[in-house]
Structure 1
Amino acid sequence: MFMASPVFMSEKRMQPSRLLFCLITFSMFLLMLSFVFLLQSSNSSLISESVFRMMLLNNTSVFFRPNSGSISDKLSNSPTLTSPTISRKPSSRSQDNACQGPKLKKERVDLGQGTNKACDTAHALLRVFMYDLPPEFHFGLLGWEGKAGQIWPDVIDIPPYPGGLNLQHSIEYWLTLDLLSSNNPSVIRPCSAIRVMNLSQADIVFVPFFSSLSYNKHSKLHGREKVSVNRMLQDKVVQFLISRNEWKRSGGKDHLIVAHHPNSMLTARRKLGSAMFVLADFGRYPAEIANIDKDIIAPYKHIVRTIGGESAPFKKRPILVYFQGAIYRKDGGAIRQELYYLLKDEKDVHFSFGSVRSHGTTNAGQGMASSKFCLNIAGDTPSSNRLFDAIVSHCVPVIISDEIELPYEDVLDYSEFCIFVRASDAVKKGILLNLLRGINRDRWTTMWEKLKAIAHHFEYQYPSQPGDAVDMIWQAVSRKRNSIQFRVNRNNRLSQSQLMEE
C-alpha cells in the first residue's frame, strides 16, 4: 500500500488555514475600500460625509428599517445621533431658522445651521396680515419703481435706505422687509413673525407706511405746494384705514403702526391713536394716544460701528466720561448745557459739540470705544440714538433722562449694564464724577461683559437673526397681543351692551 509522506500530509492540513487567511485578508481589503468610498462620496453616498464622520467621532451607529421614511428623516429622528453645539459670537450673522428667539433671561443659545424651509404658520410666534399699500407709502419713498402693477420689490434685490441720521429711525423699513421675506424659503430668518394673506389667521395687522422717512424727506413745502407730501400721505393713510372693515372690526386696536421719528404721523396720530404704535419714546405724545400699556418702544438703529470682538477692557479705555453731540437743546434737553459747563474742563472727560459731518460718526465711535462711561442725556425728547451707539461700543451708558422709556424692558434689566442718574442730581457739582470714579474695575467689567452679551438685541439687519432688534420687536408685539385681545373683547362686550340698552 502506498504510504503518504509526513510532509505531504502536513501541507494538505495547512490548505484550509491558508484559504481562511486569504478570505479574511480579502474581506478586510473590501472593508477598507468601502470605508474610503463612503468618506469621499459625500454627494452620492447613502450617508453624508459629515454624518459619517460624526458617527465615527461619537462612536454612534444608525440603523435603518426598510420602508420607514426617507434617509434624511431617519437621520433626524434617530435618538442616538445628535448635532454638535455650534458656538458663535453674539454679533455673528448665524443661519438659524428657529421658530422662536432665544430666552432673554438666560444665556443666548445658538441652534445650529438653518435649512431652506419656509416658516410654518402654525408654529410662528406672531401671524401678521400686511396691507398691500401702493409703493408711494413705502419703497417708492426710496426712489424704487417696480414694473406695472408691482407693489413690492424682490426681497433678494432690495433698495437701500438713505444713510446718515435718516437711518436711526428706519425701523419700519426693517420690519416690512422681514415680513416680505417671511414666506420666501430662500431667505433664512427666525419664524417669530410670518406674513399671512388671510385676515382670519392674523394676530396683528401691519401698516407698511414709512412714516419717519416721509417726515425726513417730504415734510417741507416746495414751490407752490400748500400741503406737504408728508401731510398728504398721512391723510391718505387715515382715509384708507378708517374705511377698512379690518379697522372697523376692532376700532384699529389690532393694527400696528410704526412712527419712530418723534415728528412722524404728527397730524394722523390722534385719529389713529387706538392702534399699537412702535415709537422711540412718549415725549411728544399725550398719554391717551400713546402709553406703555399698548405701545412698543423700539431702539434707534445705531450709527457708529459695532465693536464686536475688538472691545477694549477697563485699562485700555483712557477716557472716563464721553459725550459728543448737540449741546444746546430745548425743553428737557436744557440739562446738556448745564452739564457741559460743569464737566468740560475735567481732565478725563470728553464733552464737546459734534455732528455727522467731517467724519463725526467715525470719531464718535472711536471715542466711545475708548471710554469707560458714555453719557446719554435727554435732548428735545427723552430718548437719543446715543444710548444705542454706546451699547454697541460696549461703553457703559450713563442715562440722565428722567422720562425715558427703554426697549424690551419687560425682559431686559438695564440696571445690569447701565447707570441711572436723576437730572437734579447730575447737575450738582461733583455728584456725577464722584459716582463714576467710585465704580471700580470689577464692577465696571461685570457691566461691560453684560453689554457684550446683550448688544446683538439692538442690531437691525436683513435678513433678521434670532434675538436681533427685528426679532425682539416682533416678540414684544407678541407679548402685547394679550392686552390687545383683552381690549378688543372688552370693546365688543361694551358695544353689545349698548345695543341691548337701545
Structure 2
Amino acid sequence: MWHVRAEIAPAILLVVDFGGWYRLDSKSWNGSSLDMIRHTQVSLLKDVIVPYTHLLPRLQLSEKKRNTLLYFKGAKHRHRGGIVRENLWDLLVNEPGVIMEEGFPNATGREQSIRGMRTSEFCLHPAGDTPTSCRLFDAIQSLCIPVIVSDNIELPFEGMMDYTEFSVFVAGDDALKPTWLMDHLRSISEKQKEELRRNMAKIQLIYQYENSHPGGIGPISPNGAVNHIWKKIHQKLPVIKEAIVREKRKPPGVSIPLRCHCT
C-alpha cells in the first residue's frame, strides 16, 4: 500500500486509526522526508475513523455482579508505542482486584476473554502498536467500562457520540503514578458505573457490521457501523469542499500549508 500512497491520498480514507500512517516506510527509507506519510495525506479533516470488528459477542444489560475491578488481556510487549503498556503491566500485575493476562481473544483465548470482560467492572485499554484495537470494541460489547490510557487517540464516530458518557479517559503520566489508577477507579461510585454501562448498552449496535441475516444477505442495520460510516462521510464533505476552495483561491506564488491532501 505504501507505494500507492500518493495516488490514494486525495480519497476519503476509511482507517481504524492513524497509528501506522505517520511512521517511516522502512522498506524504502533513505533518510528523505518524502518517505514519510505527510499529515495532509491522512487527516482527521477528510478521513473517517472506523471501528475494528469486535471478536466477542454482544452482552445484554443486566444487574449481574462483577467481581473483578480491572481486566486486561493482550501482549505486554509491543513493537511501537508500548512503553506505557509495559510499565502499566508491571505496576498492576500484582494488584488485588486486577487480572492481567497474556494472549488474545482468538480461537484459543476467546472463552477466557469473554469470561474476563463480562465479570470485570473496567477493561484497560492502553495504546500499543496502534492507538486502538478490537479490545476496545470487545469491551463495549461486553459492557466492561473502557479505561482508555492515551493522551492522543482517534476514535470512531466522534461528534456523533460522546465517549465520556461510557468510558474513562486517563492521562499516561497519571496512570503510571503508583496507586493512582486503582484509587481513581475505586472512587467511581456504583451509581456512576451503572450509568456508564447503561449508556454503553445504547450504543453497542453502532459498532456492529453484521446485519443478523443468514449468510449476511439482506438489508444492513440502520443503526449499525456501515450506516454510521456513510453518515460520517456525509459530514466530512462540506469541510473537504471548503479546503479545496481555500487552496484554489490563493494568489499565485503564495505558499500556504495544505489543510489536507484534497482535490
TM-score surpassing 0.5? yes
- 1:22-66 Cα shifts (integer Å, max 9, x gaps): xxxxxxxxxxxxxxxxxxxxxxxxxxxxxxxxxxxxxxxxxxxxx
Equivalent residue, structure 1, for 2:215: none
Distance 1:341 1:421 in 2: 17
Residue 356 of structure 1 deviates from its aligned partner by 4.1
Classify 1:449/1:494 alpha carbon distance in 2 versus 1 (closer, same or farther; 3 Å). same
Residue 494 of structure 1 deviates from its aligned partner by 5.4
Partner letter of residue 175 of structure 2? Answer: A
Partner of residue 483 from structure 1, selected from 239, 243, 247: 239
In the alignment, is the contact (CA less than 8 A) between 1:382 and 1:402 conserved in 2?
no
Distance 1:451 1:459 in 2: 13
Q: What is the TM-score with the length of structure 1 in the denominator? A: 0.44
Distance 1:492 1:331 in 2: 38
In the alignment, is the contact (CA less than 8 A) between 1:322 and 1:350 conserved in 2?
yes
Equivalent residue, structure 1, for 2:203: 454
Equivalent residue, structure 1, for 2:42: 290
1:404 aligns with 2:140: no
- 1:398-439 Cα shifts (integer Å, max 9, x gaps): 001222101111121111110000111111110000000111
Equivalent residue, structure 2, for 1:465: 221
Classify 1:358/1:389 alpha carbon distance in 2 versus 1 (closer, same or farther; 3 Å). closer
Distance 1:369 1:293 in 2: 36
1:371 aligns with 2:123: no
Classify 1:356/1:371 alpha carbon distance in 2 versus 1 (closer, same or farther; 3 Å). closer
In the alignment, is the contact (CA less than 8 A) between 1:312 and 1:370 conserved in 2?
no
Q: Percent identity?
A: 37
Residue 491 of structure 1 deviates from its aligned partner by 4.7
Residue 271 of structure 1 deviates from its aligned partner by 3.4
Partner letter of residue 477 of structure 1? Answer: I
In the alignment, is the contact (CA less than 8 A) between 2:70 and 2:98 conserved in 1?
yes
In the alignment, is the contact (CA less than 8 A) between 2:61 and 2:198 conserved in 1?
no
Q: What is the TM-score with the length of structure 2 in the denominator? A: 0.82
Distance 1:493 1:387 in 2: 43
Q: Which has the higher helix share?
A: 1
In the alignment, is the contact (CA less than 8 A) between 2:55 and 2:105 conserved in 1?
no
Residue 346 of structure 1 deviates from its aligned partner by 1.7
Distance 2:74 2:239 in 1: 38
| Larger RCO of the pair (alpha carbons < 8 Å, separation 6+) | 2
- 1:50-97 Cα shifts (integer Å, max 9, x gaps): xxxxxxxxxxxxxxxxxxxxxxxxxxxxxxxxxxxxxxxxxxxxxxxx
Equivalent residue, structure 1, for 2:29: none
Distance 1:358 1:276 in 2: 34
Distance 2:228 2:134 in 1: 18
Equivalent residue, structure 1, for 2:93: 344
Distance 2:149 2:183 in 1: 15
Count of matched residue positions in the alignment of Structure 1 and Structure 2: 231
Give RMSD over aligned pairs: 2.1
In the alignment, is the contact (CA less than 8 A) between 2:45 and 2:240 conserved in 1?
no
- Unmatched 5+ stretches in structure 1: 1-264
Residue 460 of structure 1 deviates from its aligned partner by 0.6
Partner letter of residue 153 of structure 2? Answer: I
In the alignment, is the contact (CA less than 8 A) between 2:105 and 2:112 conserved in 1?
no
Equivalent residue, structure 2, for 1:301: 53
Equivalent residue, structure 2, for 1:311: 61
Distance 1:337 1:357 in 2: 22
Residue 363 of structure 1 deviates from its aligned partner by 1.6
Distance 2:227 2:91 in 1: 41
Equivalent residue, structure 2, for 1:322: 71
Distance 2:39 2:69 in 1: 38
Distance 2:101 2:15 in 1: 28
Distance 2:177 2:201 in 1: 32
